[in-house]
Every structure is written in C-alpha cells, then in structure tokens.
Chains A and B, each alone.
Chain A
Amino acid sequence: MIYRNSYFKKELRQAYSENRASTNRKLASALFLGLISFALFFVFQTLQESVLSEAVPEIMQPSFYSTVYLYIHLAFFFYTVYFILYYDYLFFSEIRRNSWYLLIQMGYHSVVMFFSKFAALLYTVFLIYTIGFIFTVILTVFLKYTFIYTYLPALYVAGLTDVFLIGMFSMTFSLFTRTIVNARYWTFFSAIVILILKLTLGEYNILSNRVSMQNFYNLLDLNHSLYMPVAAILMIILCLVCLIRSNNLAKYYNLPTDQILLPSGFDVVYIDSGTGKRKAAGKKAKKGWRSKIFDTVSTAGLIFFICAALVFNFLIIAVNTSTPGQEVSIQGVIPFVFRSETMEPAIQMNDLTYFQKIDSQYPIQEGQIILFEENQVIYVERVLGKVDDKLRVDIDHYPPMSQPGAMFKTILRQAVQGVYIGRNRWLGVLILFANTIVGRLLFLLVPAVLLFYYKQIMAFSKRINRS
C-alpha cells in the first residue's frame, strides 16, 4: 500500500502536502509563541516604573504568573491570526467548494467528517497551545523566580478555553458566510466578542488575582465569574450548530456566487412561472451588504490606526524634545515626561505632565507646583510661601537615603517658567513604550510602511487570496 490516508490525517496536515512539514510547523509555532511571550514580558519590564505596575500588576511582576499570563493572551491573539490565515484549511469553506460533495459521493459520511475535522482542529489547537505553555514555563525557570505551580492549571485552562472558543466561533461562521474574506472578518469580530464577554462577565477579576487563581475551583465558581459556564454553553451550542449546518450544507451542491460564463451585455433574471417572481441572477445578483460593511469598517480602522500612529509620533517628538532645558510649548502648554519620584503622589514616575507657560504678571499661589530654572537647570517643585518677589519651594517626596530639606530653595519669581496644570499617566507609559525598540517599530515603522507601501501590500494580499 502506497498511501494510508484518512480524513482526520488530512485535516491534521492543513496547508501542507507532507505530514512532517505540518508537524514541524506546529512545533515551531508553539516555540515561537513561547519565545514571543517571553520577549513581551521583557518589553513590559522596561515599563516597570509607570502606571502599568498599578493598573496591570499581573503582567508587570517578576514572576511565573506574569510570563504565563502574557502567554495565554498572546496565544489568543496568535490563534485569531492563525485562524484568519489558515481559514481555508481549518474550517468548512471546503463544503462550499464542494470538496465534501465529492467525498460523500465516494462513500464518506458527513457526520464522521464533521467530527474528524472538529477533533483535528481541537487537537491542533491543544498541541500548539500546550507546547507553547510548557516552553514559556521552562524559559521562565531561567529567570530564577519563585516557582508557584498552584496557579498554573487555572491559567492553562483559562487560556485554552479562549482559544477553543475562538476556534469554534470561526468554525461556525465558516458555515454561514459565502466568501472567505467575510469569514475572516467574522473570526476577527469573534475575538473581540470573547474579550468583551471576559470583561463583562468578570473573568478578568479572577484572572488578574494571583491569589485567587491558586485555587483552580475559583475559576469555575459562579459567584466569581459566569464566563466559564457561558463559554462551555457557547461551545456546546456552536458544536451542535456546526454539526447540523455542515450536515445540511453537504446535502447540496454549492454553486459559485459569481457567474462568469455570461457574455458581456447579457443579464439574466430568474423568473418563477408559478409565482411570477423575478430574481436577479448572474452578474447582477445582489452582492452581500455585509461584505461592504466589513470592507468599510476594516479600511476605516486601518486609516484610523495610521493617522493615530502618526499623530502620536509627532507628540512623542514634541515631548522628547521638551526635556528640562529644552522646553517646547504647544499652545502655551509645556509637556514632558516626568522621570522622578520627587513629586509623588501628585506626579508619579514617568507621568506625562503639562505645565502652563506663564508671564511675569501671573499670580502664583502657595501650594502650586511650578517649573523653574536655576543655574541653567530645570526643577519642578511646590511653592511653600511667597516673600516679595521671591518664592520658597521644595519637593513633595524625598526618596529613601536622601537628606530631607536638601531641595528646599528660595528662588526669584522671574525664574518661574510654568505652573503645573495636569498629567496623563497612560500617555506617559505610551511614550515610554514608544521609546523602546518595539515601540518605535510599532508606532513609526509599521504606519510608515503601511502608508508608503499600501498598494504593494494590497496587491500581495490579493495575490495570496487568489492563490
């Protein structure tokens, strides 16, 4: 016997004509995923002294929890992209191409094929996810953090649930959408729906709590979050819908939506002589409105991303040049990233602060934070009192090991350049991130490439779609 193939084995191969190539690719994907999570963890570590440490401590702490937490989220993102790219091989578009029709005529059974396809998808997802998970844990061992294994099972299951769910959503949509492009949009929107579900059903309250995750049953506890049972119910429903719909679709030969055989100038209408109803056919057949909406939304999203990234880059350039001694004012406001703990809690490390530029007539009040220059050095301190044209100033917070009162000064009113009007903690962290290599790539290089090579990218994407 030369070949010993089954439908399940064919499914496991996905896009590859060799089993070995497919297995190697899966293993490589898993390792890549682990490495990327690890790299991302280090990127976040560079933003340690920022609002992120307070807002999302679960990814900022030097622990196994953070690397694995990042991994499960990255895995979700990876699978969304993976499903979009390999959509044609993983899901049910083959029914619409009538591949099942041929197999059914040759003695295959649609229910068996459904379960084989379903099992192959789950197996592939499980394999890549699990290997990636183990690899991330092994990599974290090298960081010599304290190994607490109790929260790992809960994290593993939480992540696996998400990727199974997005897989099933994509599988279901593939049975209802006629074109691959639309189905890919649906996969993307499913990912967003899952994230919204997690947020609204309180899943993140458990996930972000390292202590509660040490008890696996907290993940399933309905008092904490409804996400897990909802996900389980959704999976059962999606599975049943897939089974019924695939079985039903396989009963029919699916005609292509585009009728290319009509000569130009000819239009065809379908007229039912019984009812007299007319229906456009061929080239004039109604094109899906969903497709137009998806195209518009994705194009608008892309334009928004490019514009936002470019605006953000200008802001970064302005802020970066607006360092002590080189203030740049935008509409009378001096922005700069405050890289000190001296004004905590009013201004924290790496906050983006705004100072109103003032003239000599501006009435400075006690308690205001001011920006002033002394001996060609810029300081930010709080006004403690006023004597004639002199101001007594000091910092709010003396770091440990420093001498209290060392920064107390009496300065001339003329030295004051601006008064503090506010801060933005998230913009501060974004600027901090934008100054890392990854940040520069994301905010500067990616939009620039998209902007200047848009046509080439679109042409390439069309070629891929056609092939």
Chain B
Amino acid sequence: MDYAPEHVVFMEHVASGEHYAGADGKPKRALADISVLIRKSETWGIIGPSLFEVKLLLEIMANIKPYDGGRCVLMEQGMLRRKRVILRHVFYLGNADMVYDNMKALEYLMFVTGKLPIDKVDLQEKIFEQMIEYGLGPISLTPNYLLTKEEKAVLALFAAAYSGSLIIIFNLPEYDFDEVLAGVIARLSAFIREKGKTLVLGSQNCHLIEKACSHSAVLQDGKIIFSDTVDNFRNNYDPVIVTIQDKQAETMAEKLAELLPGCQVILKNNRLMISSSSQEKDPGMIYKRVLEAGFIPERMEINPKTVQNAYEELIRRHDLQKQLL
C-alpha cells in the first residue's frame, strides 16, 4: 500500500458550481462554504435531508465533479478545479451498475481481485471466508443479476476494500440498506480502517452511520452544520434521557408532562421518550417522579443515545434557528 498522509481530505470553504434556480430568478448555490477535515483511518458518514447535496459533496470530494470556489486537498495534493480525471488513490462508488451481471457474487470478487499482487489461492480463500463471516454467505453463489442494487453496492465496496486506493467514497445515499447489509458495511468499514484506509459514505440511514462510522458530518441547506465524531454527535445532540414502554404510555405521557416541567415527553412508536435540554438530566430522578405519579412502567431504560435522535434534534434546532432569523 502507498504511503498515506495524515490528512486525507481537506476542504476549505468549498462551493459548488451547481446552483438551485430559485423562483425569483436568483440562483442559490447548492453547496457553499464547506469545510471539513478527514484524517487517515477514519470512517465518515455524511448525512443530510437532501440526497442531491450529499451526493454532490461526495462527488466533489472524489474529483468526479468540479468545484467552483474554495480549496480542496486530497492526500495532501491539490485538486484541479475543473477536470474530473479519476484519481488512483480515490475509489469512488456512485452506482451499483458497475458490477457485472453475468457472474456470481463470489466469482465476481475473485475476478476483480485477480490482478492484485497477492497469492491467488490464499486471496480467494480469504475472500470466501470473509464473505461468510460478514454475513454474505447466502448471496455468495447467487448470479449478480438476481441481486438487489444494495447488495451489488456492498459487493463493490467489498472489492474496493481490497483495492490499493487509500480513500473509498461510497456515495449511495439514495440506496436503502437493510439491517443485514448495514452490518456487512460496518464490518467492511472496520476492515478498511484496519488497513489504514479512509472510508467516506453518504447516507440517509442514521443506523448505518452509527454502526459503520467513527465520524459524521451533517449537511443542511448546502452547509455543514455539524462535523465531529459519532460519539460526540450522539452524546451532545441526542436529548432523550430515558425511554419507557408501557400499555398506559398515553396516560403516562399526560401525567409526566405535568410532573416534569423541564422535560419534553414525546410518544413515538408506543414508546415514551423523555428528553431534556436543561437541568433535569438525571435518569434516577425521572424514575422517582414516575413512581411518584403512581406508575410502575413495564420497561424503562436509559437511552443509549442514537444518531437518529441526535440527527433529528440537530435538524430541528437548525430549522428553529432559521425561522428565528
């Protein structure tokens, strides 16, 4: 593998050439003032409500589309603004059609890795074992034309993990990865990091980001409104303290709203979510109040902090701020 510098992607005030054609005739940049720093062996999940913006940002990052302003440095080398030449150190995955249909999944992986300077027998054995270990066993002997586009995308990511490229950009925010495939991506992400490479994935799946990424960036209205580790994201923005499951959840919600004035009580999917943005963050105290109200909940647990909740809260705050302005 080539030497990998510490700073893998460095974007500073990057702006896209793509503009939204506004109704008033005044165009608005799709992406503006994008600054992000991605280091070696990190896995970044870029998330945002607009698929177009997420996709565009990753395309610019991979030098697939030109950018119009700011500075973008990949592997500590400047990128040409207007030319979209493939860079050998960037492996870009922007669609699943690149996988050949007239092969089986395992066979395809054997085929694409055929030119790597590794002993073929060992490599094939390793890939086969890895596929089974990661949960791709059931599709390993399935012809590719029978696979879903998400499965094909994971297959391409599998291949990319073995490539010599130091950055892998998995730009498929429009794809809907199920629990199993998200698990495979998470395993592949760990494998990629282990090899000292960097993975950047665009997604709208918070669960995937939670499982597979070490860092996350949230893109809203063409700007990055958050970029840090996933742990910090969850801990700082997920306001839910405890969740309660009970048959009487609805009655409980009304009562608790009165008893916990500093907290927000939301009923979601038959679960009560108690969140607080102020003083009362102690789950023990909330439990005490619940008992005082005369309820003994069937199940009450401290919220493990999820990316989903954090993301929703961040977007909510951002929208609120926008309205105030």
Contacts and interface: CB of A to CB of B under 8 A. Distances in A.
Interface in B22-61: 27, 30, 50-52, 55, 59
Contacts of A6: 114
B73 interface: no
Nearest to B114: A5
Interface string A86-112: 000100001001110111111110000
Nearest to B54: A261
B122 to A, nearest CB: 10
Contact of B97 (A97, A104, A282): A97
Interface residues of A, number: 44
A17 B51 contact: no
Contact of A267 (B21, B110, B145): B21
A362 interface: no
Contact of A99 (B50, B52, B98): B98
A3 B111 contact: yes
Interface in B95-134: 95, 97-104, 106-107, 110-117, 120-121, 124, 128
A413 interface: no
Nearest to B156: A102
A16 B95 contact: no
Given A10-B111, A268-B19, A271-B27, A16 B102 contact: yes
A1 B128 contact: no
Given A102-B159, A255-B65, A281-B18, A2 B100 contact: no
Contacts of A255: 59, 64-65, 94
Interface string A207-220: 00000000000000
A98 B102 contact: no
B169 to A, nearest CB: 10
A251 B86 contact: yes
A102 B98 contact: yes
Contact of B20 (A98, A251, A266): A266
B111 A261 contact: no
A1 B121 contact: yes
Interface on chain A toward B: helix, strand, loop, or mixed SS?
loop
Given A268-B20, A269-B27, A106 B124 contact: no
Interface in A325-361: none
B159 A3 contact: no
Nearest to B143: A17
A104 B94 CA distance: 15
B17 interface: yes
B100 A99 contact: yes
Interface string A253-269: 10110011111001111
Nearest to B120: A1
A3 B124 contact: yes
Interface of B: 17-21, 27, 30, 50-52, 55, 59, 62, 64-65, 68-69, 84-86, 88, 91-92, 94-95, 97-104, 106-107, 110-117, 120-121, 124, 128, 143-145, 156, 159-160, 162-165, 173-174
Closest 7 CB pairs of A and B: A107-B115, A261-B51, A3-B110, A97-B97, A267-B21, A17-B143, A98-B98
